[in-house]
Amino acid sequence: MAEIKVLSQAVADKIAAGEVAERPAAVVKELVENSIDAGADRITVEIQNGGIKYIRIEDNGKGILANELEFAFVRHATSKLQSIEDLFSITTMGFRGEALASICAVADVEVMTKTKDADEGVYMTLKHGIPSEKETVACNFGTTMIIQNLFANVPARMKFLKKDSTEAGYIADVLGRIALAKPEIAFRYICDGTEVFSTSGDGQLKNTILNIYGMDVAKGLMEVQHFEHGVNVCGVVGKAELARGNRTRQTLLVNGRYIKNHVVAKVVEEAYRNILMTGKFPFFVINIELAPEMVDVNVHPAKTEIKFANEKEVYDIVYHAVKNTLYTVPKEQTIEKTEKTEKSEEVLKNNNYNKFETSRATERSLIADFMKNTIPDPKKVTPLAFREPTKEEAAFVEKMVLTQKMGQEELEVKLQEKSVSEVDETLQLIEKKAETKIIGQVFNTYVIVEQANKVFLIDQHAAHERKRFEELKKDYMENKVLGQMLLVPIVLDVDNSERQLVLENAEKLSNMGFGIEEFGSNSIIIHETPVLAGENEIKELLLEILSALRDGRPSGILSFEERALDMISCKYAIKANKKLSIPEMDGILKIVEDLEKAGITTCPHGRPIKIEFDKRDIEKMFKRIV
């Protein structure tokens, strides 16, 4: 084992100083990285109150020698870097010798550690950075650190912390990404007494993803493997359906270390162009392996931002790696992979690989059993009446046919009961109706209508969406129940931050018509929804709404509520690229007329519903008139 040495001032200065302990998640990150550097293959992180009150990190690494223990807490004391040359070929996670010194200055620390060769362990506490006497203790080899009352003596720092649940979410996020970077290490994260996730540590990235994100994600992965010019790009990217409205599910690793690099994220997204809609971000866990000299990890004190020596080349290679996967993976191969993933889950269940007794896999198998015994598997059930889009469509068409049948005769009967001004109005209507002719549909998206001296192009989706939006908004304002019970509840895998969002916004979501309950630590169950659509659409809708909740701020002209209602309307409405029958087209026309009567001419985002051409304009275009 290398000795711990105090770095020379020159080296110390060379190293960008930065605050290590900015929030509980940063503390957890530093401590976990120390455990990894110590060669641990089992790391448990337990926190209480968002880590502010309590953080415990336990590892089975090489431990710290009893006579060096207090040195570990001295600034710039490190066993990982002896000279300035080492700075350029770093393979360990930490190297500044700053973390423990910073942490013990802002919290109460307890440490218990034992090296493999030592007969007994050693225990020490630090208050305000001042170490107590060391005591010998009986313990397993490895190191346990307990950090309590973080920032209790730094009120200014304390003020910047968010809610406990938010801080806990940050910790889950950081830890999840470290776990993805180290599939060979078994991680376990316990928050306020409940296990949030545990990874098996069997070395398989896909199993780690399964442990952290659940089955839905594990099933939708495609492998990336590409080597070029000394750069190896490997990992997985998600199919289109795993894309989300934000980048929280993107993990980028460089030489096995979790880092942030917006350009690489953009490059990956670029490879998805034409596959994903704008505003959707792909799922990925990508590791770029290259010679350590080609990377400068010392750009940012928290070491999550890096620079590549030959940036452009790296970006190019990443782009091609992802693009190759997206465009050449044959379907069968993906299916085979899915089966493999399921098999791995079986293996996990049978525990051989598992380094913890309770694991995510066991929990998932419990969920699977629950599903089998209590509710039918949604995938195997024949679609229920309300799930069949055709029924809704049938009703829609029926209504439209009726509208059409109300011909001139009926209108004239009505005429006799109306006042003079109404008579005028109705006469005009009759006139219009007689003159209105539906020409048809183009691009399966726009309805063409001729009326008097005009031609309209109507965006079928925009029109229908706006109508539904207005209805929903009215119901919402009047506190009407928007939700409808699902006969077959939908189980949705969520990550920790999504789960938090659901819990924190339970009331808002319920007002929107969502009935949701927690279901295990990584799933929720949806039993009521505001729109009777297919399972995938409902999942997508909820995720979009959660994403809007995460953003918090209104988008453009819409408030959060309007945005959510719009998302619901959008799922309900007739889609673009859908062939319509004449009665359906007539229905769309009727919708536009009703909306116009209410002075509405755009979809909820402000895009036009109808474009008008005057006969004169057309004649001018053909130079029939000047």
Among residues 102 and 547, whose Cβ is nearest to Mg ion?
A: 102
Kindly state the tokens that stand for 92: 């360990």
357: Cβ contacts below 8 Å, ≥ 6 apart: none
Q: Cβ 59 to ligand ADP, closest distance in Å?
A: 5
State which residue, 99 or 290, has the beta carbon closest to Mg ion.
99
Nearer to Mg ion, 39 or 407 (CB): 39
Amino acid at 585: M
Helix (H) or strand (E) holding 15, with range, is: none
Over the window 13 to 32, marking each residue x when it contacts ligand ADP by CB under 6 A and - when it does not, the resulting string is: -----------------x--
Q: Pick what 66 binds: ligand ADP, Mg ion, none; C-beta below 5 to 8 Å, kind-dependent.
A: none
Residues 253-312 binding ligand ADP (CB under 6 A) are none
| Closest approach of Mg ion to the CB of residue 201, in Å | 21
Residue 165, both tokens: 């649940």
- Given ligand ADP, Mg ion, none, residue 303, with its beta carbon under 5 to 8 Å by kind, binds none
Which residues ranging from 128 to 147 are in contact with ligand ADP (CB under 6 A)? 143
- Compute the least distance from the CB of residue 101 to ligand ADP, in Å: 6
Residue at shortest CB range from ligand ADP: 94
By a kind-dependent CB cut-off of 5 to 8 A, residue 79 interacts, out of ligand ADP, Mg ion, none, with ligand ADP
The number of C-alpha atoms within 13 Å of 320 and in the hemisphere containing its C-beta is: 11
Give the H/E segment covering residue 601: none
For 538, phi then psi, to 5°, come to -65, -40
Work out how close the CB of 67 gets to ligand ADP at its nearest, in angstroms, rounded to a whole number.
13
Smaller CB separation from Mg ion, 175 or 210: 175
Classify each residue of 346-385 as buried b or exposed e, where b means 16 or more C-beta atoms within 10 Å of its C-beta.
ebbbeeebbbbeebbbbbbbebeeebeeeeeebeeeeeee
For 105, the token pair is 């200055």
Is residue 112 near ligand ADP by the rule CB under 6 A?
no
The answer to whether residue 34 forms part of the interface with Mg ion (CB under 5 A) is yes
Binding mask 459-498 for ligand ADP (x = CB under 6 A): ----------------------------------------
Residue 97: contacted member of Mg ion, ligand ADP, none (CB under 5 to 8 Å, by partner type): ligand ADP
If binding is defined by CB under 5 A, does position 94 make contact with Mg ion?
yes
Q: Name every residue whose Cβ is closer than 8 Å to that of residue 418 and which is 6 or more positions away in sequence.
A: 426
Q: How far apart are CB 471 and Mg ion at their closest, in Å?
A: 58
- Annotate each residue in 38-67 with x if it binds ligand ADP (CB under 6 A) or - if it does not, as one string: x--------------------x-xxxx---
Nearest CB to Mg ion, comparing residues 65 and 449: 65
Contact 458, 447 (CB under 8 A): yes
CA distance 15 to 76: 10
Q: How many CB atoms lie within 10 A of CB 117?
A: 10
* Longest pairwise C-alpha distance within the chain: 105
- Interaction between residue 35 and ligand ADP (CB under 6 A): yes
Q: Cβ closer to ligand ADP: 94 or 530? A: 94
Kindly tell me which of 80 and 320 has the beta carbon lying closer to ligand ADP: 80
Of the ranges 27-35, 279-287, 331-339, 604-612, which one interacts with Mg ion (CB under 5 A)? Answer: 27-35
The Cα 493–Cα 487 span in angstroms is: 19
Structure tokens, 426: 């109705």
Does residue 36 interact with ligand ADP by CB under 6 A?
A: no
Rounded to an integer, what distance in angstroms lies between the CA atom of residue 346 and that of residue 334? Answer: 19
Cβ atoms within 10 Å of 226's Cβ, excluding its own: 17
For residue 93, the minimal CB distance to ligand ADP (Å) is: 7
The site that binds Mg ion (CB under 5 A) totals a number of residues, namely 3
Residue 38 binding result from Mg ion, ligand ADP, none, given CB thresholds of 5 to 8 Å by partner type: ligand ADP
Beta carbons within 8 Å of 138's beta carbon, 6+ residues apart: 120, 121
Determine contact, residues 20/103, Cβ cutoff 8 Å: yes
State the number of CA atoms in the 13 A half-sphere of 398 facing the CB.
6
Which of 64, 72, 77, 99 contacts Mg ion by CB under 5 A? 99
Question: Cα dist. 92→28, 96, 175, 274, 336 in Å?
Answer: 17, 11, 17, 39, 36
The residues pairing with 123 across neighbouring beta strands, listed in sequence order, are 112, 135
Beta strands (DSSP E) in 452-589 are 454-459, 484-493, 515-519, 523-529
User: Which x/- pattern over 66-105 shows residues binding ligand ADP (rule: CB under 6 A)?
Assistant: ------x----xxxx-------------xxxxxxxx----
Nearer to ligand ADP, 35 or 199 (CB): 35
Angle between helices 164-181 and 205-213 (to 10 degrees): 160
Question: What's the closest the beta carbon of residue 77 comes to ligand ADP, in angstroms?
Answer: 6
Binding residues for ligand ADP, rule: CB under 6 A, are 4, 30, 34-35, 38, 59, 61-64, 72, 77-80, 94-101, 143
Binding residues for Mg ion, rule: CB under 5 A, are 34, 94, 99
